[in-house]
Amino acid sequence: MEHFRETSGHKRRVLIVDDEMVNREILGNILSGKYDVSYAGDGQEALELIKGEKPGFSLVLLDLIMPRMDGFELIKLMRADNEMRSIPVIVMTAEADAEVKSINLGAADFITKPYDMPEVIIARCERIIEFSEDKTIISSAEKDNLTGLYSRDFFFEYIRQIEEFNNDTRMDAVVFNIDHFHLINEMYGRKTGDKVLKGLADILMNIFEDVAGIGCRAEADRYYVYCQHQYSYDNIMQKIQDNLPELSEKAKIRVRMGIYPNVEKDIEVEAWFDRAKVACDRIRGDYTKSMTMYSSELHEISRYHEELINEIDEAIENRDLIVFYQPKYGIQGDKPVLKSAEALIRWKHPRRGMISPGDFIPLFESNGLIQKLDNYTWEEVAHQIRRWREKYGRVIPVSVNVSRIDIYDPALEKKLMKLVEDCNLTTKDIMLEITESAYSDNQDTLVRVVENLRNRGFKIEMDDFGSGYSSLNMLTTIAIDVIKIDMKFIRNMLKDDKSLRMVKLIMDIAGFLEVPVVTEGVEEKAQVDKLREMGCDLIQGYYFSKPVPPEDFEKLIDKEMQG
C-alpha cells in the first residue's frame, strides 16, 4: 500500500485544529510534504469539516483550549459517533494533566508544544495513522459480517494465544452443521438462509455465554466452538433444539453436533476441529442422532479415509481401479437378450486387496474427488466398448455414472465428445446415469446440461428412481430417456404390497412418458416373471450376473452369440 501511495502521488488527509494561526502554519509546514493538510480554527469548524469532507481524514491533530468548542468536547463527540470514532486524534498540549485526561477520553497520542522536533512529529503521525489503518483492516477481517462470530483464521489464532496461558485446562473442540442448508436457500431464498445462519449464531453465543470459550463461523453453514471441557452436551443440544423453531416459520432446521472432547494439546489446532467435523459428518443422514463424540474408532476411520484420498492418483496411474460390468437383459422376448451394461468401479488395492465401493465412493463424493474417478471410468469404458466392437462386431452400450459435481464442470460435454470421437463411437454407445441428488443441488444447471447432452445424442438414465423426494420433480423438468427403479422396491415387491404398488406406479409413469424401465437388484425368477408381466423392459441383477471384470463379461457375450 505504501508503494502505491508513493507511485500514485496519493496522500492521506490530515486535519489540524488550533485557534492560533501561527501554530496551524508551523504544523502545516512540517506535515504538508507528506500529507494533504486541512485546517480548522476551533472544534465546531473541525466537526463540520470531518462530517462533510469526502474522502475522510486519516488523522486529526487537536488543540485543547479553543473558543466555541474545545478539544475535549470534540473528542467526546467523535468517540460517540460510529463513523468518526475510527479517526485517530493526536492532542497538542503542554500540560501533563491535559494529556492524561485527553488520552482517557480516547486520544491516540499527544505532541508537546512548542513544535521544535519536526522529525518526531512526522514519525508520531505516521505511526498513529498506520496503527489505526491496521486496526481497521484487522477489525474488518476479525469477525464474520453476518453472524458477528470470529472468522476462521482469527479463531484459530486466538486459540493459540489462549493455549499459551491455558495449556493445563481441559478443552473441547465442537463443530455444528446445518443439514441441507443449500435447500433452505433454494426453496425459501437467501434472505431466509441468512436469517437462519444469524439466528443459529445468536443461539450458540447465548448458550455458551456461561462457558469459557470462543466461537466462529468456519464455513457457510458450519460453526466451531472452543470451550472448557463439558462432561455432557445433552443439555446444550436440547437448548439448541428448543430454539431452532424460532429460526424460520417455513423451513424445518436440523443441526448436527460433533465433539472432540479433551483435545490433545500436542497436535495442531486445526486437527482438533477436523476430528470434531469427522464426528459431525458421521451422523449426516442419521436422523436418530443429533450429536456424537470423536472416538478411537472414528480416528481409525478418519486415517483410513485420509489414506484412500492420498492414494487415488497412484491407483489411477497403476490402474488399480478396475471397471466391472453388470449386464442388462431385455426380458420381453421369448428369452432374455443381452442389451447393455452398467459400469461399476472397483479398487484392487496392492496391500488391502479389494476395497468396497462403499468405502471410497461416498468419501470421494463428499470431497470432490469423485470427478477424477468418473473421468477415469468414462475413459476406460469408451476404450472397452471399442475393444468389444472390434472383437465381436457389435456395440454393447454401457451406462456410466455422472456425479453431481460433474454437472458443474464446464468441460463435461467437451470431455464426453472427445472420448466418443477418439474411440470412434457414437453418443448412443455411452449412456449417462444421473441421480436426483444432482437435481436437488441446482435444478437450472442440471436442466441446461442434460438438454445439451441430449442434443448431442446421449441417452440420459434417471438412476434410483423413487429413492428420494425429487424424483417426480425431475420428470416434470428434465427429459429422461430411461428410468431405473431403485432396488429396494424390487427386493421387497413380492413380500410387501406397498413396494409392489410402487413398482406398478413407476411402470405406469414410464408408460405415460413412453420411456423404457430398468429394474436393478433382481435376484429371483419370480421377480423376473412379475416384472415381465408388468411390462418391464430391462433387468439388471444377480439373477443374471453380478458385476464382473471385462474378461468375465466377455463370457456372457460369447454365450449370447452362441445362441
Rounded Cα–Cα distance for residues 55 and 59 (Å): 12
- Mark whether 479 and 406 lie in a shared domain: yes
What pLDDT score was predicted for residue 563? Answer: 66
- Mark whether 438 and 549 lie in a shared domain: yes
In a domain, 205, yes or no: yes
Entry pTM: 0.63
- Mark whether 334 and 439 lie in a shared domain: yes
- Mark whether 424 and 384 lie in a shared domain: yes
- Mark whether 398 and 250 lie in a shared domain: no
Burial of 495-512, coded b for 16+ CB within 10 Å and e otherwise, reads eeeebbebbeebbebbee
What pLDDT score was predicted for residue 18? Answer: 92
- Mark whether 111 and 188 lie in a shared domain: no
- Mark whether 237 and 331 lie in a shared domain: no
What pLDDT score was predicted for residue 8? Answer: 45
What pLDDT score was predicted for residue 54? Answer: 66
The amino acid sitting at 27 is: L
| Torsion of the alpha carbons at 308, 310, 316 and 317, rounded to the nearest 10 | -140
- Mark whether 201 and 86 lie in a shared domain: no
- Mark whether 427 and 548 lie in a shared domain: yes
- Mark whether 389 and 253 lie in a shared domain: no
DSSP 523-548: --HHHHHHHHHHT--EEESTTT---B
Instruction: Name the nearest CA neighbour of 251 among 200, 197, 196, 290.
Output: 196
Torsional sign, CA 378, 384, 386, 392: negative
In a domain, 43, yes or no: yes
What CA–CA distances, in Å, run from 562 to 252, 358, 490? 59, 36, 31
In a domain, 211, yes or no: yes
Q: Any idea what the CATH number is for the domain that residue 112 is in?
A: 3.40.50.2300
* Domain of 277, in residue numbers: 152-294
In a domain, 447, yes or no: yes
Quick count: other Cβ atoms within 10 Å of Cβ 150?
A: 22
What pLDDT score was predicted for residue 466? Answer: 66
Convert the pLDDT of each residue in 222-262 to its tens digit. 999 999 898 889 988 999 888 888 888 777 888 999 999 99
Instruction: Name the nearest CA neighbour of 367 among 309, 315, 312, 410.
Output: 309
Angle of the 525-534 helix axis to the 497-513 helix axis, nearest 10: 40
3-class DSSP assignment, residue 493: coil
Domain limit, last residue, from 116, 141, 166 = 141
Q: What is the largest distance, in Å, between two alpha-carbon atoms of the chain?
A: 112
In a domain, 531, yes or no: no
- Mark whether 272 and 351 lie in a shared domain: no
Domain limit, last residue, from 141, 161, 194 = 141
Convert the pLDDT of each residue in 422-453 to its tens digit. 999 999 999 999 876 665 556 778 888 999 99
By the 10 Å C-beta count (0-12 exposed, 13-18 middle, 19+ buried), 320 is classed as middle
What pLDDT score was predicted for residue 344? Answer: 96
Q: Give the total number of structural domains in the chain.
A: 3
3-class DSSP assignment, residue 405: helix
Residue 382: all three cell numbers together = 469408451
Rounded Cα–Cα distance for residues 451 and 466 (Å): 22
Convert the pLDDT of each residue in 482-506 to its tens digit. 988 888 888 888 888 888 888 898 8
What pLDDT score was predicted for residue 498? Answer: 85
Q: Any idea what the CATH number is for the domain that residue 172 is in?
A: 3.30.70.270
Mark the ranges of the chain whose per-residue pLDDT is less than 70.
1-9, 53-55, 96, 136-141, 436-442, 466-473, 563
